[in-house]
Amino acid sequence: MLQRTWIMGLLGAGLVAVAVNAPARAGLIPGTVTVQSESGAWRWTYSVAMPKDMKLQAGDYFTVYDFKGFTGDAGVTSPFPDDSYKANWTVSTSNLGKTPDRLSPDDDPNVTNLTWTYTGPDLVNPTGGSIGNFFAVSTFDKTASGSFTGTTHITDVNAPNYTDNNVTSTLVPTGTDVPPGVPEPTTLALLGIGLPLVGGARVLRRRRAA
């Protein structure tokens, strides 16, 4: 089995606070991205982290944009706090969005976006910060920089009904579909590959929930 893992890092952050004078907080973050071979395709796994001063409520979600070569297979493994919480996550696709208010991610209307939506009870203090490993399968293993947005809630007792919307960068599959009958060359250049840190401007928005 071939597997590659990238550790994502923030090289800089631009912060905008709206509607509440709360301390700046990072929202949902795709901490690591792992790509491994799977039955002639490639499984992309995003380990998503949430800070301790945040919580997930039903309807909160995150989106990975422009996921080329999507095969239709996506889901979650190792959800916090246990595997029974797999039932509390749904995956949907669209070519535009789903995007939190006032965020402007890179979004090609001709390429599939993947959105994982939480539907369970309030979720706080995930072990190690991780809320789970979220996967999607692509026909491509080559990487490109893409956008990631998320919306969650803050746990501040002085602002209990405020959401946190953020946008950052992640890695997504890229490639060109091969016409039927034309074999696709396999090139595996793994040696010498470092661990690139993909920086992304982060926009945080606070707003009073409706």
**Distance separating alpha carbons of residues 111 and 113, to the nearest angstrom:** 7
Domains of the chain: 3-178+189-208 (2.60.40)
DSSP letter for 40, please: T
**Distance separating alpha carbons of residues 10 and 48, to the nearest angstrom:** 14
> Residue ranges of the chain with pLDDT lower than 70?
1-26, 157, 159-160, 177-210
The predicted model scores a pTM of 0.76
The CA-atom distances, in angstroms, between 44 and each of 22, 77, 184, 201 are 35, 12, 20, 23
Give residue 8's pLDDT: 52
Give residue 7's pLDDT: 52
Tell me the β-bridge partners of 136. Answer: 44, 74
Give residue 85's pLDDT: 97
Peptide bond into 81 cis (omega under 30): yes
Give residue 180's pLDDT: 52
Give residue 9's pLDDT: 44
Give residue 126's pLDDT: 87
**Distance separating alpha carbons of residues 74 and 62, to the nearest angstrom:** 14
**Distance separating alpha carbons of residues 57 and 98, to the nearest angstrom:** 17
Give residue 183's pLDDT: 47
**Distance separating alpha carbons of residues 55 and 122, to the nearest angstrom:** 7
